[in-house]
Structure 1
C-alpha cells in the first residue's frame, strides 16, 4: 500500500517534517510493509521554506535580522544561484511561533526583519523572489519591511514612526525616495494562505489580530491605522490594493507585497505543490494523509489540507486530514475532497498537554486510520 504523507506544520507543536515522521511511525505500527511517501508541505507559513529547499535543492543561508519585537535572531532563507532565485519565509523573521504567548503584540510587532532578508537576497544578486506569507506575529501591513528597505514613514513633526501597526495611526507622510532601487528589477511571487482583504470585518486586524494578542479595542485601532497607511500608499502609488484578495495575509503583508514590490499573490499551497512535483507523487497513491493545527471554515480559503484535497480529487485519491482541532465549519472540507477528518485529542486535555503530545497523538491517529482501512478491505 502506497500512502502519501503531506501535512503542514502544527502551530506551536511540530514543524511539518516532524509531523510527517510521526504519521509515518503510526502507519508502520499498523502496517509494517506500507510504502510511506514523505512530503512535508506548507501554504506560506512556517515550514514552507523547508519544503521549498527540499524540492529545489536551493542553498540554506542564515542572516541575523530583527524578530517581530526588534530583537536579533538568525533567520534562514534560500538561494538558488543558477536561477538567481531567493526563497524567503516571513515566519523565519517575523513569526508568531518565535514569541511566547505573553509576548504577542499585534500593536507593536514589525516586519522589519523580512525587509532585511530581502536586502540580503538583493545583495546576493537575486532577480526572482518567492516570498511566503503566513504564521506572522505582525499587523503592520509591511510597514517595517518598507523601513528596512529604505522607505520613511513620518509623523506630523517629520519624525520616523516607531515599529508596529499602531504607530501608523500617526502617519502623515510616506517617503519612498530612499526605497532600494534594486527592487525595480526583482520579480516577486508571493505565496499566501488566505484570501482576506486588508480592512474590514474580514480584514487582517479583525480576523487575525486577536491571534496575535489584540483586544477588541486594539483591533478597531489597528484597522483604522492600516486604512490610514493604505490611503497614503494609494496616494503615493496611484493605485489602491486594499480590497485585493490576499492583501490581509500576514497582517497586511500581502498588501505591501503587491503595492510596493509588484508581487503576484498566489495560493501558497499551489506554489509549493508545483515546486515539489506533487502530481507525480500522487501517481499510484492509494491514500493521502494531511493535516495542520486546526481545520475549520477558514481552511477553504487556501490552507494546506484543502489545497491538497482539491488536487488529489483530480487524481481520484482519497484524503484523510488529521487536525489538532476541528473548528467551526470544518465539515465544508468534505465538499473539497477530504474524505474524513479526525481531531488528535484522545480525551479531555489542556492546550499545553495537546501541544506537548502532538507527535504521539498524530502517530496514534494515523495508526487507527490504517487499521480501519485494512479492516474494511478484509470485510
Structure 2
C-alpha cells in the first residue's frame, strides 16, 4: 500500500511549507515519517549480499532468490517499473513496516483525512512505532471518532526514492507463501505506475487490480497443482469476506444517508454489525472449515475499518474491466489508468463508475426490466 508513512520522501520535500499550510504541530508527525523511512533504507542491503552472506538462514535465502524471479517477471510480463525497488532487503526486527491509523465518525463512512503539500490528502496516518500509532488512535477516539489501528507489512514511495535505493524487501512479508508474495510485490510496484493525488480509493483499487491480474499470470506460468489448490482456497475465503463486508458497507451507507433520527440510526447500526458478525461466524463454521484469519477484523470492525477495506476493493472491478477493454495489454492499460489519474476527481469517479460491471449491466438492460 502507499501509506502516509510510505511517502516519507515526498513529505520531506514538504517540510518547509508545513508550518505555513497545516500548522507547526504537523512537524512532529513529519519528522517521525522521514526518520522512520530513512531507518528502513539504512537497514537495507542488496539481495546479492544477503545471498552471499554465510550467516543468512537458508529459508531466507530461498525466499530472497524467489523474490528476484518474481521481480524479473514483473518487468518482463507485467511491464512494471524496472528499477532498484525490491532488489534489496532489510530485516527490521519487528512485525510490521508501519502501523496505520484511520478514523471515521460514528454515523458516517467518510474517513478522516490529513493533507500535506506535494502528496495531497490521505485517509490514514502511518507510524513507524506501534505505541505512537496507538496514542494517535486514542486521541482520535477522544474526539468521538471510530478508529482502527492496523499493521502494514509493506508500503510504496511511488518510485520517488529510487535515488536512495528504492523500496526494499522486508522481513515483514518475505516469508509469505509464493503466490501471496508475488501479489504483494506486484501491488507495490503498481503504485509507481499511476497515482492520483489525494484519492486513496483510486490508488489502492488500481494496485489491487494489478496484484490480482499479475498474480493470475504468475500462477499460470509458475504455479504447481498444490499452489493452485491453496490459492483457490484463499480466494474462496476472500470472496466470502468481500461479499459480506461490501453488503454491510452498502447497508450502513444507506442507513447513514437516511432521514432517520440519530437514536434510530444507532440502533439499526448495532443490528447490522451484529448480523455481519453472525454471518461471519456462519461462514467460518460452514464454508471455511474453522479458518480464523478474519476473526480480529470482525471482532473490531467499525466504520473506519470497513471504509479502509472498501478503499482497496470497491474500484477493482472497474479496473479489471478497463484491462479487458484495453485488450489485456498491460502498457495500454497503464496508459489508460494514467489518463484517468490526471482527470479532476469528479470526472475520474464518473469514468470508473461507467466502467464497473454493474453500471454496464444497467445501461444494457432492456427497458421495462
TM-score category (smaller protein):
under 0.3
**Structure richer in strand, relative to its length:** 1
Give the TM-score normalised by structure 2.
0.25
**Structure richer in helix, relative to its length:** 2
Give the TM-score normalised by structure 1.
0.25
